[in-house]
């Protein structure tokens, strides 16, 4: 069994995989103040809560928070007894790059693309909705053709509430309709429908620039379940895409060692 960890700026997603099966997933806040011992306690508690009792054969970490990476490695060693494989630039990914600086890509995006290439027809577009929303494009040959990075819905809402004196934070729950009848509903609908319309528009523009129609458009990340149903394009919601990709990268690179 493999322990998989995706550490983002807002949340850390923890999961276990047995072969191609995701046994459980859990989320905890990305806290830059926590020590490695505190993360080890949190991981142990979550594994116990989800009744994960089998020993782990390995572990893999993707982290876009450098301050947390070593603490998470330490925590994983304490909990599993395994030295975790950390996704870093230069590892084997299973797909080529057509961009100038592949080393600048986040570990989570590498995992997203590895899983998307294995699970969906090409070309495939991947929207990952977290603190930032990203678009990663694999073309018809399976190569990384490029992508986009933009503020995520929660970050947009936070900025709106902070910079507009008469506005305030609003939970990002699905709006009942496009046209809100009060300030909170207007902010919620504007943020979420606006983000959905942006994804629709970006997919169309990416297809034109690529010169290929997407065979699949996949949505993953913490806010994907809220935004994807509001899109007019058919987005495939795949909430375990990153974890599956981490398992693929782990296996691919273990074969190379």
Q: Which of 239, 242, 215, 236 is nearest to 138 (CA)?
A: 215
For 28, phi and psi rounded to 5 degrees? -140, 160
DSSP 178: S
Q: Looking at 6, 57, 108, 128, which residue is catalytic?
A: 108
For 79, phi and psi rounded to 5 degrees? -80, -40
Q: Which two tokens stand for residue 112?
A: 């997203």
CA angle 209, 210, 215 (to 5 degrees): 130
DSSP letter string, 206-251: HHHHHTS--SEEEEESTTHHHHGGG-SS-EEE-TTHHHHHHHHHHH
What is the rounded CA–CA span in Å between residue 229 and residue 105? Answer: 27
CA angle 246, 250, 255 (to 5 degrees): 150
Are 108 and 62 in contact, with CB atoms under 8 Å apart? Answer: yes
Q: Which of 151, 58, 65 is nearest to 106 (CA)?
A: 65
Are 15 and 244 in contact, with CB atoms under 8 Å apart? Answer: no
Active site residue 108: yes
Active site residues: 108
């Amino acid at each position: 069994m493999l322990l998989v960890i995706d550490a983002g700026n807002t949340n850390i997603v923890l999961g276990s995989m047995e072969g191609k099966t995701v046994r459980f997933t859990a989320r905890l806040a990305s806290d830059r103040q926590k020590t490695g011992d505190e993360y080890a306690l949190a991981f142990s508690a979550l594994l116990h809560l989800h009744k994960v009792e089998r020993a782990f054969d390995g572990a893999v970490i993707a982290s876009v928070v450098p301050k947390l990476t070593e603490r998470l490695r330490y925590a994983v060693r304490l909990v599993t007894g395994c030295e975790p494989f950390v996704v870093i630039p230069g590892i084997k990914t299973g797909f080529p790059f057509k961009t100038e600086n592949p080393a600048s890509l986040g570990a989570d995006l590498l995992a997203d693309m590895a899983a998307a290439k294995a699970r969906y027809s090409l070309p495939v577009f991947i929207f990952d909705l977290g603190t930032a929303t990203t678009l990663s494009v694999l073309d018809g040959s399976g190569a990384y053709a490029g992508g986009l990075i933009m503020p995520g819905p929660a970050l947009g809402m936070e900025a709106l509430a902070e910079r507009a004196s008469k506005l305030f934070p609003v939970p990002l729950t699905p709006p009942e309709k496009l046209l809100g009848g009060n300030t909170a509903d207007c902010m919620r609908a504007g943020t979420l429908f606006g983000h959905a319309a942006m994804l629709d528009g970006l997919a169309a523009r990416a297809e034109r620039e690529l010169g290929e129609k997407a065979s699949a458009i996949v949505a993953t990340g913490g806010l994907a379940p809220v935004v994807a149903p509001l899109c007019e394009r058919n987005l495939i919601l795949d909430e375990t895409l990153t974890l599956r990709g981490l398992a693929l990268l782990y296996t691919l690179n273990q074969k190379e060692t």
